[in-house]
Structure 1
Amino acid sequence: MAGLRLLVPSLAVLGLILPAAGAARPVVDLHPDVFVAGESSLPPHAVPDGGVMFSVPFSTGPDRVYWDAPVRSLPPAAAIEIEVTCDEPAAIRALSLHIQAGGQWASAQKTIAGPGRQTLLFRRSDFDEDPWPPNGHRPATLRLSAWKGANRDARLGLFGIRTRTFSIAVVQGSDSGTAPGEAALAEQCAGRALELLDRAGLPAGLVSDDLETLDLRPFRLLVLPYNPRLSSGQIRALERFVKRRKGILAVFYNANADLAHLLGFQAPAYVTAPAAWTTVAFDEQVVPGLPAAMAHRTQHLLPARAKAKSAIELGVWLEPDHPSGDRLPASVVSSSGIWFSHVPPFASPSAVQWFLAALARANHAYARDRDRHRAELDQRNTQAAEILRQQPAPSNEFRAVWAHPIPAHSRPETFRRLADHGIHAVFEHMATGGHLLDGARDKPLTQALAAARAAGIQLHAWCIAWSLHDLPARRTAAFPTRRRLMQDSQGNELPWLCPSRTENRQLLVALYADLARRGVAGIHLDYARYPARDGCYCPATRAAFEDRIGRAVTSWPAEVLPGAPLAAEFDQFRHDEMTTFVAEATAAVRAVDPAIRCSAAVFPLPEAIDHHGQNWPAWLRSGHLDFVAPMLYEPTASRFADRLERCLAAAPAPGKILPGIGLSADTTQLDALAAAEQIQAVRTRQTAGFAVFHLDANLERILPTLPAPPP
């Protein structure tokens, strides 16, 4: 597994301590004299409770400080865990662990969640090289590196470095075990499974899918996150694990009938739908510990059904457009394992709660973990409510939520619940790449606006500008033939409209003006940017840039790539293209109704400007937008606050910033306490308010912990 890296946040995101997963062995002696300070680094000193304290001078110092220590004992293991504290976690962008063996260095990174003591888990699979190389060299040196984040000093405490083994394993699908081109998907699903287990307090190792030769004796639970092409030999190995070892399997999105029968389930059949399923509903009385609902978005399912006497179905998929129709089972559990009808869900509090409840139903030994997690979650909910009571909302706080298209039948009730908990605005997805979504057409939008007015909700049209990722193929088929798409530096077309083509701008601007005429409270732009450095280098972009500089570019795009002679001028060109587009769009909207609020979801600084051509501070200073919503999707309050500070420093006024909190983003899934800590950071900085991503079952679960602002 050398060279395999899964960038999985640690359990410290929740501020919890990882439980013992196996026998621990110290790796180095915890004494200041053992650690040799590197360049620009200060020697550590001892602290009374048996740890070692390192000074991190990042207010004026270097980008990195590090310390080396000789390895006392480092036998091959599934992971290395380090126990740390940090008084200023925002100062440290990342903490790296490097291990040297035979002249080769293996490295892995983690982030520090907060100031409390926490355990960071470095799995063997996290390292860019195998820390235990097959050439027989013994690891000799361990290096601990802190990388600069915010410009401030910090103190890093170290209280243990130990090896760790696991009794749970996630089986990552190989090239041969997945369909062609799906190895990256298998890696992503394995990462999701590891995060789900981490959040559940059940850390796991990552193993290959060579099940026929792999020693499965150390494990009591195997997780198959995405393993669509299991061979007969692999199935036999899993059968031995279940029947002889009495092990449990957790299987996600699999069509293998033999595997389903092994666990006591009926063979799954593939199901799809034009509208995505977004929510799993549970009967909380079926088994102890189930949540009421779990957010998960998909248009593809492989649902199994209960067959064996010990099997039971847990949860059903709510039909987005037909709530009373037939409902498909989301998961099935028996004494041999769990089956989920899609890939592992993001590790939201509800997903963790479902997983632990299902595990406890499969094997009562996990009931203790289920109950522990429930108690911890209750405690964190109590802490969240207390934080928000201590830092009440100002009277002018503006609360918004992003929402994927809301089913028409549930819209009035959804708006009412949001309003009851102090939400003022909904940014509902209505358009992508110049195309209206079905829910934004004449009659549905009229009904939506009426429901919003009845609840006292402002309905803003969330419009994805240049990206076409959400559109079906039938909507995008004409763009390539008309040469309207972006191109990368190799000339390959990207699923993005090129902003240098006049017809593309006209398409988008006309659409936004039309939405304004139909009465929305605001136009909220998204993807008003370039796809980082991937584009655009198409002929239209080249012609527009050459016109800008007044001469031909003889070597295109080599002369405009990062580090090339014209790179700085090309960067400014990209900024100006996006700025003029935003100016044109909002001018057209305000010509219809000057009272409409114009805003945009943006990347934080500095990447917004440096990588995406998104100079939103200039948009605010020029008055093109009323406010921006920086997507500050961070798992911890300290990092959220640090990124928010950078945005506020660039904004003309704090009231122009509506910080985006990633409650249920791809990279962050927050519980009530984590969300409350970020809301607290917002309130102490007097911003316009905050926006939450996004409207789903996780938000519905957390809303009751958010006291409504004063009337």
Structure 2
Amino acid sequence: MRRLRKLIPGLIVGCLALPAAEAARGIVDLDPRAFVAGEASPPPLAAPDGGIAFALPFSSARDRVYWDVPLRALPPTAALEVDLECDDPAAVRALSLHLQAGGAWASAQQLLAAPGRQTLLFRRSDFDRDPWPLADSAPITTLRLSAWKGADRDARLVLRGIRARAFSVGVVLGSAAFTAPGEADLAEQCAVRARQLLDRAGLPAEFVADDFAHLDLRPYRLLVLPYNPRLTSAQLAALERFVKRHKGTLAVFYNANAELARLLGFQPPTYATAAADWTTVAFPENALPGLPPAMAHRTRHLLPARAKAKSALELGVWLDPDNRPDGKLPASVVSSSGLWFSHVPPYASPAAVQWFLAALARSDRAYARERDLHRAEQDRRDAQAAALLAQAPPAPKNELRAVWAHPIPATSRPETFRHLADRGLRTVYEHMATAGVLLDGAREKPLAAALADARAAGIQLHAWCIAWSLYDLPAEQIAPLRAQNRLMQDSNGNELPWLCPAHPENRQLLVDSGIDLARRGIAGIHLDYVRYPARAGCFCPRHRFAFESTTTAFHLNWPADVREGAPLAAEFDQFRRDEMTAFIAELAAAVRAINPAVQVSAAVFPLPEAVEAYGQDWPAWLRAGHLDVVAPMLYEPTAARFADRLDRCLAAAPAPRKIIPGIGTSADTTQLDALSTAEQILAARARLTPGFAFFHLAPHLEQLLPVLCPP
């Protein structure tokens, strides 16, 4: 896995009262004369109310403007804070910091969170290379501030300060040396997820190397172990010193180490698994101040610890898909020394942040302030969301409100459908097939019962069908496909967990499953993963043969000639788009031949990456009438970025009614709260789309619906 550099909204830390150990110090003078404008960049000016004003002339063809400021000396620091405000963040694709030392540059990017004042945090680990690789390396002499063009319009940025800061929270980043073989990528993903959870909790953190046995851990108040399965005796001794001698707090996720559990006052964990996913953690009412009623988290594997010390308290139980609690499997346990969660860190949903802060405050009362600040801020934002929707024009009559849903348990389906219908969500895209294989809920009798429940509640039930990806397909079902050489390959000949679309049997498999579902009264076929895995595939022999039959090029050097930037790359990209378009046309025609009333739709990537990187030319699919509508997955953290991406999609669509914008309320990388979701709903309404779709049906979304969609 490549180094994780995913852009997330800049962390707003300006409102936090940071501990003394985290106090920030300024590193640049707020004098416009100190900044040198780059090529074709306007000169900076003094802002009337203080700070430095930078004009961003993005209505022109310029993609970037930048300014340099000399630095006298910048010693190694954990992070740089950029305190700024921007009147139109949608005009700015990203903001970059570049540090120059000895002729080399280190760069990092962040996104603007929203209009107005905010503080962006650029951690040392965010840079594409370490700005301070060695203690005796060349000093950093120049800082460059770059703004990159987003929307085609001018904007204004005001800089209020750039400061260096330290952290009192560390996240231990697992490496290949201290994880199981092949799990270093998983460890990094878990570390990034833990850091995002801490960011949302108002506790910004830095990564700590997992070879920490001889590191000085005293600067940290809190140390998080997101996935660190192999701890040596020296590491355990260091953690014991941290807890007992330095009175530090540990937060441990998905760990089997009995000695570590005993250090925190817990019984050693015991591995547990299940045939179906646990999907939710339910918390007892009034167990702790600030604890949410439930938290979404999906897994089939647990390492739950139990309370042993007098100070220890078990928090939450796992619910199975039928919402039945398992009291023998505590989700988390907390003591005066730290907390333990039985799986990897949850995504940073509002409920997950509430749980974490409530548990942390139970372990160390010093964190009660962060818990209460977060709760007050969330209450304020919820009230603002309700007021925003109440003051807006009424929702359009017959507004389409949809939701993607993982398989819904049959026992809870009637209640779920009634609850959704009460909130006006009358279109459900339920996952029913993967790679042409029907899931259990799509078999004849279960689907008939599901359709009956949908009719009773006034729900339009669509079959959400994952096309080429083998996502979540059992190994025994993948094996025969592999044996028949029907899977994609990357450019090095390595197998990818995707069906090759150039294989006739694969296409027929997907078409047949669509026909089967259409025959049984489903309201629509909703395709997903109807694309390539970016430019990673497919380069298998069958795909090569299919391409060579369409090209006039001789003596093809495969795959070098078709890779990105190669002589035949553009022709190969068009071939991929044509392959996907031909499949869409074939499936849509087959489904409509069975039942013309069945809607054919697809979840798609936004533009331009849908067409350029994924072979997903959905504007052409709409123009040709192959699809009735598409749902662009506009999973953005802010309304400004959501609206900008939606505008690009609408400009390419035949009509606004063909676009159902997907809002990432419970998406992994966004986890929106009520206010952020409400702002995106209003942005969709302002653009006259037929409605919107939430991703996805989960406890987090259910908790927001009373605010977002009142009865």
Cα distance in 2, alignment partners of residues 25 and 269 from structure 1: 47
Distance 1:611 1:80, change over 3 A: same
Distance 1:610 1:8 in 2: 20
The structural deviation recorded for 1:72 is 4.2
1:106 equivalent in alignment to 2:106: yes
The CA deviation at 1:18 is 4.6
* 1:297 corresponds to: 298
Structure 2 contact 318–325 (Cα < 8 Å) conserved: no
CA contact (8 A) 1:225 1:344 kept: yes
- The answer to which of 440-449 and 515-524 deviates more is 440-449
Q: CA deviation at 1:336?
A: 0.5
Match of 1:89 in 2: 89
Equivalence map 1:149-168=2 (5 Å): 149-168=150-169
**Which of 433, 449, 468 is the equivalent residue of 1:466?**
468
**Equivalent-residue separation in structure 1 for 2:275 and 2:570 (angstroms):** 45
The whole-number CA distance in structure 2 between the counterparts of 1:422 and 1:247 is: 48
Match of 1:499 in 2: 501
Aligned to 2:371: 370
Corresponding residue for 1:420? 422
Amino acid at match of 1:642: D
- Tell me, in whole angstroms, the C-alpha distance in 2 between the residues paired with 1:5 and 1:290: 31
Name the structure 1 match of 2:561: 559
Report what 2:26 is aligned to: 26
Contact 1:4 1:125 in 2 (8 A): no
| Distance 1:542-1:8 versus aligned 2 partners, 3 A rule | closer
Contact kept, 8 Å, 1:252 with 1:343, in 2: the verdict is: yes
CA apart distance, 1:66: 0.7
TM-score scaled by structure 1?
Answer: 0.97
Question: Which residue of 612, 615, 623 maps to 1:613?
Answer: 615
303-312 or 552-561: bigger deviation:
552-561
Task: Name structure 2 gaps, 5 residues minimum.
Answer: none
How much has 1:552 moved relative to structure 2? Answer: 6.0
**What residue number does 1:79 align with?**
79
**What letter matches 1:145 in structure 2?**
S
Q: Is the 8 A contact 1:9 1:195 kept in 2?
A: no
**Structure 2 equivalent of residue 447 of structure 1:** 449
Does 2:635 correspond to 1:644? no
CA distance, structure 2, for counterparts of residue 553 and residue 611 of structure 1: 26
User: Structure 2 matches for 1:491-640, cutoff 5 A?
Assistant: 491-549=493-551, 554-640=556-642
Is the 1:8–1:195 Cα contact (8 Å) retained in structure 2? no
Distance 1:4 1:595 in 2: 47
Instruction: Name the counterpart of 2:65.
Output: 65
In the alignment, the residues of structure 2 paired with residue 595 and residue 411 of structure 1 have an alpha-carbon distance, to the nearest angstrom, of 24
3-state secondary structure, aligned to 1:408: coil
Aligned equivalents of 1:324 and 1:126: distance in 2?
40
Match of 2:679 in 1: 677
Residue of structure 2 in register with 1:249 after alignment: 250
TM superposition shift of 1:554? 3.1
Give structure 1 stretches of 5+ with no counterpart.
Answer: none
In the alignment, structure 1 residue 35 sits paired with structure 2 residue 35: yes
What is residue 205 of structure 2 aligned with on the other side?
A: 204
What code does the residue aligned with 2:686 have? T
What CA distance in whole angstroms lies between the structure 2 residues aligned with 1:523 and 1:626? Answer: 10
Q: Distance in 1 between matches of 2:488 and 2:458?
A: 40
Per the normalisation by structure 2, the TM-score is: 0.97
Q: Deviations over 1:457-507 (max 9, x none)?
A: 111000000010210101100111111111111222211111111111111
Aligned counterpart in structure 2 of residue 665 of structure 1, from 654, 664, 667? 667
What SS is found at the alignment partner of 1:604? coil
User: Percent identity at matched positions?
Assistant: 70
Deviations 1:252-303, CA, capped at 9 Å, x for gaps: 0100000000001111111112211111111131111110111111111111
Partner residue, 2:49: 49
**8 Å contact from structure 1 (residues 269, 303) kept in 2:** yes
In the alignment, is the contact (CA less than 8 A) between 2:13 and 2:119 conserved in 1?
no
Deviations 1:219-242 (A, max 9, x none): 111111111101011001100111
Q: Distance in 1 between matches of 2:52 and 2:566?
A: 46
Contact in 1 for aligned 2:7/2:111 (Cα 8 Å): no
Measure, in 2, the Cα distance between the counterparts of 1:418 and 1:39: 54
Amino acid at match of 1:660: G
1:395 to 391, 394, 397: 397
- Aligned letter for 1:586? A
Q: Equivalents in 2 of 1:180, 1:63: separation in Å?
A: 43
Q: Match for residue 223 of structure 1?
A: 224
1:293 and 1:322 mapped to 2: Cα distance? Answer: 11
CA distance in 2, matches of 1:398, 1:10: 29
Q: Distance in 2 between matches of 1:533 and 1:640?
A: 25
Corresponding residue SS for 1:664: coil
1 CA distance for matches of 2:358 and 2:293?
A: 12
Q: CA–CA distance in 2 between the matches of 1:571 and 1:356?
A: 48
Could you tell me whether the CA contact under 8 Å between 2:94 and 2:148 is conserved in 1? yes
Alignment partners' CA distance in 2, 1:353 and 1:446: 40
What does 1:261-410 correspond to in 2, within 5 Å?
261-321=262-322, 323=324, 326-391=327-392, 392-410=394-412
User: Alpha-carbon deviation of 1:397?
Assistant: 1.2
Residue type at the aligned position of 1:77: T
Q: Which residue of 2 aligns with 1:238?
A: 239
Does 2:133 match 1:133?
yes
Any idea what the Cα deviations from partners look like across 1:72-95, whole Å, max 9, x if unmatched? 452322111011111111111111
State the Cα deviation string for residues 96-134 of structure 1 (Å, max 9, x = none): 111112222221110101111000011111112222231
- Once the 2 structures are TM-superposed, how far is the Cα of residue 207 of structure 1 from its aligned partner? 1.2
Change (3 A) 1:216 1:4: farther
Using the TM superposition, give the Cα deviation of residue 154 of structure 1 relative to its aligned residue in structure 2, in angstroms.
1.0
- Mapped to 2, the partners of 1:600 and 1:285 lie a distance apart of 43
1:406, 1:341 → 2: CA distance?
A: 24
Compute the displacement of 1:187 (Å): 1.3
Partners in 1 of 2:546 and 2:6 — Cα distance?
A: 39
Give the secondary structure class of the aligned counterpart of 1:229. Answer: coil
Paired residue type of 2:524: G
Measured in 1, the distance between the counterparts of 2:437 and 2:14 equals: 45
Match of 2:431 in 1: 429
Give 1:325 deviation, angstroms.
5.2
Task: Indicate the RMSD between aligned Cα atoms, in angstroms.
Answer: 1.6
Amino acid at match of 2:639: A
Instruction: Measure how far apart 1:641 and its partner are.
Output: 0.5
- The 1:183–1:164 alpha-carbon spacing in structure 2 relative to 1, beyond 3 Å, is same
Give the corresponding residue for 1:169: 170
Question: Which stretch shows the higher mean deviation, 654-663 or 587-596?
Answer: 587-596
Q: Which amino acid aligns with 1:116?
A: G
8 Å CA contact 1:399–1:423 kept in 2: the answer is yes
What secondary structure, in the 3-state scheme, does the structure 2 residue paired with 1:372 have?
Answer: helix
SS state of the match for residue 608, structure 1?
A: helix
1:570-627 CA-to-partner distances (Å, cap 9, x unmatched) read 2221111111111111111111111111100000001111011111011111111110
Deviations 1:518-569 (A, max 9, x none): 1111100001111111111222222222222367653222222223332222
Q: Deviations over 1:184-239 (max 9, x none)?
A: 11111111111111101111121112222111111111111111101011001100
Name the CA distance, whole Å, in 2 between partners of 1:322 and 1:397.
Answer: 30
Query: Partners of 2:553 and 2:181 in 1: how far apart?
Result: 45
CA contact (8 A) 2:252 2:340 kept: yes
Aligned partner of residue 548 in structure 1, secondary structure: coil
Conserved 8 A contact 1:5-1:128? no
Task: Look up the equivalent residue of 1:53 and give its one-letter code.
Answer: A
